[in-house]
Amino acid sequence: MLSKPNPSSTILYSSASEMESHIVRFIMAEKNIEREVANLKTEEIPEEILDLMPYPILPTLFDRNIVLYDLSVIMEYLDERFPFPPLLPVDPIEKSEKRLLIFRFTRAVNSWFELANTIETGTKKDADNARKTLKSSLIELVPLFAHQPFFKSNDMTIVDACLAVLLWRLKRLDIDLGKSGKAVTDYASRLFSRESFKESLTDCEKEYNA
């Protein structure tokens, strides 16, 4: 078990391989937040942190003596607590649109994250169906990837952080978008080339695109 967390520190308890933890690591690196990152398993979360949450889950953020453990809550907290660079629009309509995209990609029924998880953990039949669905969904949105430097935006947002970690895993998921998906792979390359993304990678994640 880890030692008791320092109340003055910003500490991320993170899985070394799961997408949600990778998103938070990417956001923290993009914002250049002074932080500690502890990559561990849920059973290794310190008792002092477990006492402040209803169940063990990763990622978990400890900051200012509070514990946050829902991905959307953590992302928005970080964007408000560390406002530069902003990763959500100020306009409430645009911000709501980004929130809906995040829900669609990460948490909705048959979301892209759910499909990726099925590919890795489901039966062969379920994995094959999920792989086909995820690939076709990405190809279907090619015009949106091609229209602006980032996803439906001229500036990077939290949506891009969510998409980047998924796209980084396509090779691991045995998904090749081919020529028809060039706009998606070009978009992915722009995100992967960011120093913050490189910094966010754990050793095992670096192997996904080796």
Q: What is the pLDDT of residue 8?
A: 64
| pLDDT tens profile 141-186 | 999 999 899 999 999 999 999 999 999 999 999 999 999 999 999 9
C-alpha 10/C-alpha 62 separation (Å) is 6
pLDDT at 200 over 90: yes
Q: Where are the beta strands (DSSP E) in 49-197?
A: 60-63, 66-68
Which run of H or E residues covers position 37?
Answer: strand 36-39
* Average pLDDT of the chain to the nearest whole number: 93
For residue 153, the 8-state DSSP code is B
Question: What digits encode the pLDDT tens for the residues 15-64?
Answer: 999 999 999 999 999 999 999 999 998 888 888 888 878 888 999 999 98
Is the confidence at residue 101, as pLDDT, over 50?
A: yes
Residue 4: predicted pLDDT: 56
What is the residue extent of each domain of the chain?
A: 92-194
Q: What pLDDT is recorded for position 147?
A: 86
Query: CATH number for the 92-194 domain, one of 3.10.105.10, 3.30.750.210, 3.40.50.12780, 1.20.1050.10?
Result: 1.20.1050.10
What are the distances in angstroms from CA 116 to CA 16, 18, 111, 154, 183? 17, 11, 9, 27, 20
The answer to whether the CB of 177 falls within 8 A of the CB of 185 is yes
Structural contact between residues 14 and 58, judged by C-beta atoms closer than 8 angstroms = yes
**What pLDDT score was predicted for residue 5?**
60
pLDDT(210) > 80: no
pLDDT band, very low/low/confident/very high, at 1 (cuts 50, 70, 90): very low
